[in-house]
Amino acid sequence: MAQYPNKRLRRLRYNPLIRDLVRETELSKNDLIYPMFVIPGNKIRKPVKSMPGIFQLSVDELTKECKEVAALGIPAVILFGIPEHKDEKGSEAYSPEGIVQKAIRAIKSEVKNLLVITDVCMCEYTSHGHCGILDGEEILNDETVFLLAKEAVSHVEAGADMVAPSDMMDGRVLAIRKALDDKGFTKIPIMSYAAKYSSGYYGPFREAAESTPAFGDRRSHQMDIANANEAIREVETDIEEGADIVMVKPAGPYLDIIRRVKEKFGMPTAAYQVSGEFSMIKAAGQNGWIDEERVMIESLIAIKRAGADMILTYFAKDVAKYLDKVRK
């Protein structure tokens, strides 16, 4: 092996064209999935205070924004619904007249060239804000899984192109796969939130989705932040149950997990750059403490470099605009 002075690693960095030539990781619009929040009403664009640039949108506004997202060349959105009424059993989650179901129908009839993915969970729809059906303070697994399957089917009946269960109940991917297949939706893929940690980084999202639990936390179903081998078991289980794409969440603080999942399974792997990751970069940028655009790109390149094939990110629109700008 060559040694200095024959070996000089700086030779491949000495001008921008050489750097372009040897770059190992590229961020593309095709990697992006844009999360959106839909609320009841008309002509509503309600800013999420802790997430600058992100809004809760009524269906009409959502549809408009989806046209913009598609025109920017972003291939997919993931929808979160804030229902009119919340109850113990999260009834609006699986109602054909639910907010997400209405939103899907509107987008599908008005927007071309956009994949509509839906988040499948109960926490936005339950009065107590938990991800499932409760018995006292316990979240019941199998009763919840039954309703999640109903929710997924109702999203697909409304026109969703893909479903993304985010609840972390045991057996939900299998139940959703079976329920979809029973209805003839054999071609609809499942992107499972396979390794989802019980993270403090979800704070701003809970404002956006109005889904803060009324008591307790999500530690009885989401993963312990300290565990990595367990993430492998979670992902393996979801693959066995029929997941087509597996997700790691959050992304930036869990690059080691993304890497291990990608290397071990070689599956299409998604990473969710969550609300707290977004808000921290925005806040520091707005204060002039960091260069927001530069750190945005760095954070996303790091997630891809770790092994992610696609990234759910609130920066999706900003990234698409940035890529248009630098390619000109």
Binding site for ligand PBG (CB under 6 A): 119, 121, 123, 131, 166, 202, 205-206, 218, 274-275
Nearer to ligand PBG, 205 or 315 (CB): 205
Contact positions with Zn ion (CB under 5 A) in 117-136: 121, 123, 131
**For 95, phi and psi rounded to 5 degrees?**
-90, 135
Q: How far is the CB of 199 from ligand PBG (least distance, A)?
A: 8
Catalytic option among 196, 262, 282, 317:
196
Torsion-angle region of 33 (φ positive above 0: left; ψ -120 to 50: alpha; else: beta)? beta
Rg (CA), the chain: 20
Q: Closest Cα partner for 72 from 43, 33, 125? A: 33
Distance CA 327, CA 286 (A): 25
Angle at 238 between CA 314 and CA 261, to 5 degrees: 65
Does 196 qualify as catalytic in the annotation? Answer: yes
User: DSSP readout, 254-298?
Assistant: GHHHHHHHHHHH---EEEEE-HHHHHHHHHHHHTTSS-HHHHHHH
Amino acid at 159: G
Nearer to ligand PBG, 205 or 307 (CB): 205
Nearer to Zn ion, 121 or 134 (CB): 121
Residue nearest to ligand PBG (CB): 205
Does 321 qualify as catalytic in the annotation? Answer: no
Contact between 66 and Zn ion (CB under 5 A)? no
Q: How far is the CB of 162 from ligand PBG (least distance, A)?
A: 15
Instruction: Write out the E strands in the chain.
Output: 32-39, 45-47, 55-58, 76-81, 115-120, 133-135, 138-140, 162-165, 191-196, 245-249, 269-273, 310-313
Q: How far is the CB of 167 from Zn ion (least distance, A)?
A: 5
Q: How far is the CB of 219 from Zn ion (least distance, A)?
A: 13
Distance CA 134, CA 169 (A): 13
Contact positions with Zn ion (CB under 5 A) in 281-320: none
Q: How far is the CB of 125 from Zn ion (least distance, A)?
A: 9
Nearer to ligand PBG, 258 or 274 (CB): 274
Among ligand PBG, Zn ion, none, what binds residue 202 when CB lies within 5 to 8 Å by partner kind? ligand PBG
Nearer to ligand PBG, 26 or 252 (CB): 252
Q: What is the SS3 string spanning 103-148?
A: HHHHHHHHCCCCEEEEEECCCCCECCCCCCEEECCEEEHHHHHHHH
Compute how many residues bind Zn ion; rule: CB under 5 A.
Answer: 3
Nearer to ligand PBG, 130 or 262 (CB): 130
Q: How far is the CB of 244 from ligand PBG (least distance, A)?
A: 18
Catalytic option among 89, 249, 282, 317:
249
Q: Which residues are catalytic?
A: 196, 249
What residue ranges bind Zn ion (CB under 5 A)?
A: 121, 123, 131
